[in-house]
Amino acid sequence: MNLLTIAWKSLRQRALASSLTALSIALGIMLMVAVLVINGLVTNAFRQSGTGFGLVIGGRGSGDLNLVLNAVYRIGSPGEPLPWRFYRDDISQNPLVESAVPMAMGDLTNKGQFPIVATTPEYFGLGYAPGKNFTLRKGGRLLGKYFSAVIGSRVAQENGWDVGSTFKLIHGGMDDHVHDEKFEVVGVLGRTGTPNDKTVFVDMEAFFMLAGHEKPVDEAIDRLRDFGYEVTSEQEAEIRKAAAELNHEGEAHVVAGDDPHYHAVPDDLKEVSFILVNTKDIMGMPFLAGQINEGVRAQAVNPIPVMDRLLRDLVGNVKTLLLCLTGLIVVVAGVGIFVSIYNSMSDRRKEIAIMRALGAHRGTVFSIILSESLLLCLGGGLCGVLLGHGLVVAAAPFVEAEAGLILNAWHFEPLELILFPVLIVMATLVGFLPGMTAYRTDVADSLTD
């Protein structure tokens, strides 16, 4: 009979105390594993959200963190917008740029108040993560006609919308100002586990046609001049004439394109919140960002370093705090194992003396006590790992519903491998003193008692 078998039989004799002791270890490891797994998934979600593009370009003054939170995570309100001419002439025509996708934000859906992103079909060609492309769960198109919309999976689920559903927009997030125009859902995106799941994408041209979405003439002209564009008196007269033709108070603007009720808004009255840019090569990205940031018109930000800083300064601190707390729980559980084994030694003196009398060496008795400690720690640790992933399984539906984050319960974090060596060391420390007590047991005195 080997040492582990003897140790196991000994633990079975004290089944209730052994089970409770192992459970305390399991609960501590369960919390630690859950923290590691959820932190890893949240970190991956943060990092993958901005990797479909290399740069986010926005207005000056909002700061790089606010710019990334707005453009990537749909958190907060956009800063000062950029003239359409800046996107059209300066960015999309730049020889360093491979693709440039405009975004306009600010409105919400009238139901559920999900963020509205006005953009072009090219947005969906960027992908939402490296090697991961958008898919259509329902529908057959990604925008492409006036007053069309593509909705994220969470929007479809919570609002009960499907292809053919219509909805209105709340202007600038003001509940008392709902646009009269209706947008029609033409596609439902598959789940991505990113903020795109809780976003409604609408046709950009139609977005500009809504009342209050075009820039007032005087402000538009001043903004163009602030960006260094020359606006001659003839051009100013043309802008004012085009603006006068727009009628937001009647049934329609005028006639344009394939929609018999609306005119396209003149480019000089359009603004975008952000521009998502991919350069032709990786070296072009810092060079383009440097060009833009040297001026006073706009700022260009690589979202990856910003997100890493956010994770390090915010999420990383929370992770460290939680790991310290769960670590203390495991240490307390280890102390519980020590107390349980040590207190049992007085009841087991006769048992140990009989083993010694039958020929067991002092080292053998010492090893049996250490084996008991190892079985309790490693058995509790293994149960804790399974319970930790089970906890993530139970939490996944709630996290997805509240945060739109898809949790893979069986996602493995490399730090989990460190748990078992740590438990072995702890079991050795915990079992050493009781083992020495057994080692020093006097056979004659114990049998006499």
274-279 and 97-109 as β-strands: parallel, antiparallel, unpaired? antiparallel
Report percent pLDDT > 70 for the chain. Answer: 81
Q: What is the pLDDT of residue 252?
A: 40
253 and 359: one domain?
no
Please check whether residues 60 and 194 belong to one and the same domain. yes
Last residue of a domain, one of 282, 301, 320: 301
Q: For the ranges 12-21, 90-99, 253-262, which has the lowest average pLDDT?
A: 253-262
The total of structural domains in the chain comes to 2
Query: pLDDT per residue over 216-226, tens digit each?
Result: 888 888 888 88
427 plus 312 within the same structural domain = yes
One domain, residues 249 and 137: yes
Same domain, 426 and 297: no
Q: Is the pTM of this model over 0.95?
A: no
Mark whether 236 and 196 lie in a shared domain: yes
Confidence (pLDDT) at 140: 73
Does residue 319 share a domain with residue 292? no
Tell me which of 284, 301, 318 is where a domain ends.
301
Domain co-membership, 111 together with 41: no
Residues 61 and 86 in one domain: yes
Indicate whether 149 pLDDT > 90.
yes
Whether residue 21 sits in one domain with residue 78: no
Q: Are residues 75 and 179 in the same domain?
A: yes
Residues 300-311 have pLDDT tens digits of: 998 888 887 877
What percent of the chain is modeled with pLDDT above 90?
Answer: 14
Q: Domain span at residue 254?
A: 55-301
Does residue 37 sit in the same domain as residue 105? no
Final residue belonging to a domain, choices 301, 316, 349: 301
